[in-house]
Amino acid sequence: MKKSAWRYIFKSEDIRKKILITLGLLAIYRLASNIPVPGVNQEALAALATGGGAAGNLFNLLDLLSGGTVSRFSILAMGVYPYITAQIILQLLIPIIPALERKMKENPTEGKKWMERWTVIGTIPMALLSAIGQINLFSSAAGGVSIINDFGFTGANLLPSVTILVSMVAGTMFGIWLGQLISEYGIPNQGLSLIIFAGIISRMPQNLFGLLSDKQNGWWMFSLMVILLVLIIYAIVYVQQGRRNVRVMFPGRRVGNRMSMPVKSNLPLMVNMAGMIPLIFAQSILTFPAIVAGFFIRSETEWVVNVAQWVTDTFGGGNVTYAFLYFLMVVGFTFFYTSVLFQQQNYGDNLKRQGAQIPGVTRGAATQRYLNKVQQRITFVGAFFLGFVAALPYLLGFMIPALGQSGLFVISAAGLLIVVGVVRDTFQIIETELKLHGYDESLIKG
């Protein structure tokens, strides 16, 4: 009888060490998220959290995805999203600027190092803009009462304000550093994803208890929520595991004086190769205009204030327009990121070097074009599924206001997709590590 290799997870010293390091660094991140920015006006923050409007919805959305750091306005209030925004900008520039595209293709290793270095550098101005924008936007939404006491860039307020901004930017860089440590010494390549994951799930218990505290609608909303969560999780896992197998013929090998028969195999193409990244991209891009609008919402020019207010209302997460834009952004980023990943795989040349061929398709560039066409067709399904699930909570919130007011349903959108994606990817990485250390369940027999 086959037994699961997972029961050996703590018997491997290397794997046990990686898991414990990951948990320890995540605990440090959560502890640091409770350190408030100097001079926070807690009364203004509490009023903003309980108030409505587009800015209030944006405040609660950012608070949910950050694990409560926004409602406390801690040094990690911006999380690692400025880093993701900087990364998005660079990835968008690479196909546009030929010199960058050549740099990435000619030497992928050096190109990756260049990308990482400039992403970190670009994070600093992104974090600075985001910090100022959040303070201005939320202060305006709180009725003109600043959420940071004595915030300004004139007179005696200058030095305290600079200190506040430095602490917020430093908090973001600290979170990114912890994520990089997790990727290097803990669970490989999952650092930033686990940082975001930890923030999202930290609010789940509070939101669940918040639902049950509603004596009038609590139980039926809780029951409906559980049913919807189970159905959505099942659908997410089903689609994420979806594959399109393309038949590939590998040439026979010479063994002594004999030539073996060609080997038939399959090349699995994922329905959703991009994973959860499009959701993070879309969320970062959609919240950025509202943050930038915070710079101008106190302007003395009336039309500037009107435009800034329109941007805040549109990108604040409280209307059908936002849900529609979110859907389009998720679909668009899914195609974009899948295309970037697929080109990096370079299946055409790799199969040609191995002497393999897809029946009826010429080796090399023709194979790459054929596989790209197949990948785009199956990505269409995955992209629209991600977009639909991401927008579903907002649509249900409009139809059932009690769900929208509960705030929990946002978990089943970007939050739930990210959580399921991170758990799935982490489990696959740990399973691979188990097999590399000899704990292959197919080889373990009782």
pLDDT tens digits for 371-384? 888 888 899 888 99
445 domain residue, yes or no? no
CB atoms within 10 A of CB 243: 12
Identify whether the C-beta of residue 15 lies closer than 8 Å to the C-beta of residue 9: yes
Higher pLDDT, residue 10 or 330: 330
Could you list the beta-strand ranges (E) of 256-321. Answer: 258-259, 263-270
**Angle of CA points 170, 171, 173, to nearest 5°:** 65
443 domain residue, yes or no? no
The DSSP element (H or E) to which 236 belongs, if any, is helix 218-240
One-letter amino acid identity for 219? W
Q: Can you say how many angstroms the Cα of residue 119 is from the centroid of all Cα atoms in its chain?
A: 16
Measure the N-to-C terminal CA separation of the chain; round to a whole number of Å: 6
Q: Domain residues for 380? A: 5-252+259-436
**Look-up: residue for tokens 């190109």?**
111
pLDDT digits (tens, 9 = 90+) for 30-75: 898 888 888 888 777 777 766 655 556 667 666 766 767 877 888 8
234 domain residue, yes or no? yes
| Beta-carbon contacts of residue 181 (< 8 Å; ≥ 6 apart) | 21, 25, 191
Q: How many domains does the chain have?
A: 1
pLDDT higher than threshold 70 for residue 143: no
Q: What is the CATH number of the domain that holds 172?
A: 1.10.3370.10
444 domain residue, yes or no? no
Mean pLDDT score, 420-429: 82
Check residue 7 and give its pLDDT.
65
442 domain residue, yes or no? no
Check residue 166 and give its pLDDT.
92
pLDDT higher than threshold 70 for residue 244: yes
Return d(Cα 151, Cα 37) in angstroms, integer. 12
Return d(Cα 170, Cα 158) in angstroms, integer. 18
195 domain residue, yes or no? yes
pLDDT digits (tens, 9 = 90+) for 199-243: 878 777 776 676 677 666 667 777 777 787 788 788 888 887 888
Q: Is the pTM of this model over 0.75?
A: no
| Beta-carbon contacts of residue 239 (< 8 Å; ≥ 6 apart) | 271, 272, 381, 382, 385
Return d(Cα 255, Cα 111) in angstroms, integer. 41
441 domain residue, yes or no? no
One-letter amino acid identity for 129? L
Confidence of residue 5 (pLDDT cuts 50, 70, 90): low
pLDDT higher than threshold 80 for residue 12: no
Check residue 363 and give its pLDDT.
83
Confidence of residue 27 (pLDDT cuts 50, 70, 90): very high
144 domain residue, yes or no? yes
Identify whether the C-beta of residue 290 lies closer than 8 Å to the C-beta of residue 315: yes
Return d(Cα 327, Cα 318) in angstroms, integer. 14
Mean pLDDT score, 340-355: 79
Identify whether the C-beta of residue 204 lies closer than 8 Å to the C-beta of residue 210: no
Report the chain's mean pLDDT, rounded to a whole number.
78
Mean pLDDT score, 401-414: 53
pLDDT higher than threshold 50 for residue 394: yes
Mean pLDDT score, 276-283: 76
Check residue 55 and give its pLDDT.
58
pLDDT digits (tens, 9 = 90+) for 65-123: 676 787 788 888 888 888 888 887 887 787 778 888 787 777 777 888 888 899 999 99
Confidence of residue 169 (pLDDT cuts 50, 70, 90): very high
Identify whether the C-beta of residue 306 lies closer than 8 Å to the C-beta of residue 281: no
